[in-house]
Amino acid sequence: MLSIFANPSYDFIGKRRWAYGLSLAVMLLGLASMMIKGGLRYDIDFTGGGMVELRLPQPASVGTIRSRLNAVGLGDAIIQVFDNPRDVLIRTQISQTTATELSQRIVQALDPDGTAKSEVLRVDVVGPQIGSELRTQALYAVLAALVAILLYIWWRFDFRGGVVTIVSLAHDVFICIGALSLTDREISLPVMAALLTVIGFSVNDRIVMYDRLREIQARQLRKGFTLAEKVNLAVNETLSRTVLTVATVAMSGAMLFLFGGESLRDFGFVILVGSLTGTTSTVYVAGALDVDWSAWADRSRQSRSGRGGSGRSRRAAVAGPPTS
């Protein structure tokens, strides 16, 4: 197996407090963005409406396009110009029409003389009821994936590992959604597919780390090591594999983001962000929470044991010495 680290011994768990603070700051930044913008932006797949992507015969400003659409009652449409100034995306809330009628209406508005027809690249029309159903189904899909992962990790490892894995996956999804809000991107069906892909990629990292940790514990390697030291050892031993895997996934996401076209750009963006945050949260959320939960459970058991022992001592003192 290719290794890019020679006997790494980084103290990941020792830096977990800093990682907690950084993750919290990033999530709060995304939450603030969503609150300021009044929530997330949803694609017409989830809200209903029409979308037409056109290639104009020559570049036109957003103001010019809006004035021409206003003449046919579509002045409130959302207009987006791509890197190629001839490519334009027009979104409208009108859904009580067919795709053909909507595209013809927009093309005629942009070129009333009919001298230079615009090329229609893509047309989508989604009714409001269908959009609401798709939004609900997408939420159910994410929740079902998380529940299935919880049950699998619980069955293969333990309940604590399942819970901290779900928490870390929720952390990854929330950071991806926050990044979408910060960059003013929409939640669409490709984005939901990317989020599910991130969940699957991230849980694979957790399983590899937990497998190595279980191997260390089962063989009783490094006797006398604390759980934090064993987690550190497991992460360091799988570090080369983790870095190589995330590098390939991140490069794939970057290629989709840069060269995949508008339909795949948001998908690639989520894959890129999710691969990076998913790998770091394997250690700084899943592994670190596992260590902190274990320490808290040990303290609770010691506290209960201490209270029980002192209670028995007090009862013995009240009862006095045994009589013969």
Does residue 319 or residue 221 have the better pLDDT?
221
Give a yes or no: residue 316 inside a domain. no
Spell out the alpha helix ranges (H) of the chain.
Answer: 16-36, 44-47, 62-70, 99-110, 128-156, 159-182, 189-218, 227-237, 239-259, 262-281, 288-319
**pLDDT grade for 318, boundaries at 50, 70 and 90:** very low
Residue (of 262, 241, 265) closest to 254 by Cα position? 265
Q: 151-178: per-residue pLDDT in tens?
A: 888 888 778 878 888 888 888 999 999 9
Q: Which residues contact 31 (CB under 8 A, 6 or more apart)?
A: 178
- CATH classification at residue 66: 3.30.70.100
| Tally of domains within the chain | 2
- Could you tell me if 142 and 192 are in contact, meaning their C-beta atoms sit under 8 angstroms apart? yes
Which of 72, 95, 126 is the last residue in one of the domains?
A: 126
Give the separation between CA 185 and CA 195, rounded to whole angstroms. Answer: 14
At residue 143's C-alpha, the angle toward residues 138 and 144, to 5°, is: 95
254 and 175 assigned to the same domain: yes
Last residue of one domain, picked from the residues 104, 126, 148: 126
How far the first Cα of the chain sits from its last, in Å, is 74
Same domain, 143 and 178: yes
Q: What count of other Cβ atoms lies within 10 Å of the Cβ of residue 152?
A: 14
86 and 186 housed in the same domain: no
Whether 66 and 155 share a structural domain = no
Q: If 0-12 CB within 10 Å is exposed, 13-18 middle and 19+ buried, where does residue 110 land?
A: buried
Q: Are residues 112 and 224 in the same domain?
A: no
Look at residues 252, 259, 182, 170 and name the one whose alpha carbon lies nearest to residue 206: 170
Residue 32 backbone zone (phi > 0: left; psi -120 to 50: alpha; other: beta): alpha
Same domain flag for 84 and 115: yes
2 falls within a domain:
no
User: Is the sign of the CA dihedral 72, 76, 81, 82 positive or negative?
Assistant: negative
Please give the residue that has the higher pLDDT: either 84 or 24.
Answer: 24
Which CATH number covers residue 171? 1.20.1640.10
In this structure, are 29 and 163 located in the same domain?
yes
315 in any annotated domain: no
Count CB neighbours of 18 within 10 A.
Answer: 10
Are the C-beta atoms of residues 266 and 194 closer than 8 Å to each other?
A: yes
Task: Answer yes or no: is 311 within a domain.
Answer: no
Residue 319 is predicted with a pLDDT of: 40
pLDDT at residue 309, as a whole number: 55
Record the tokens describing residue 177, joined without a space: 């959604």
* Same domain assignment for residues 152 and 24: yes
Q: How confident is the model at residue 28 (pLDDT cuts 50, 70, 90)?
A: very high
Q: Is residue 73 part of a domain?
A: yes
Q: Are residues 136 and 122 in the same domain?
A: no
Is residue 296 located within the same domain as residue 164? Answer: yes
Residues 6+ apart with CB under 8 A from 3: 240
CA distance 302 to 288: 21
Choose the final residue of a domain: 109, 126, 143: 126
* Domain co-membership, 197 together with 120: no
C-beta of residue 176 within 8 angstroms of C-beta of residue 201: no
Cα torsion through 132, 138, 141, 147, rounded to 10 = -90
Give the pLDDT band of residue 240 (cuts 50, 70, 90). Answer: confident
Q: Which domain holds residue 121?
A: 49-126
| 3-state SS, residue 42 | strand
pLDDT in tens, 33-42: 999 988 888 8
Q: Look at residue 322 and tell me if it is in a domain.
A: no
281 neighbors 23 (Cβ within 8 angstroms) = yes
Per the domain annotation, does 321 fall within a domain? no
For residue 114, the model assigns a pLDDT of 64
pLDDT for 32 equals 94
The backbone torsions φ and ψ at residue 51, rounded to the nearest 5 degrees and listed phi first, read: -140, 130
Same domain, yes or no: 285 and 170: yes
Max Cα distance, the chain (Å): 118
64 within a domain of the structure (yes/no): yes
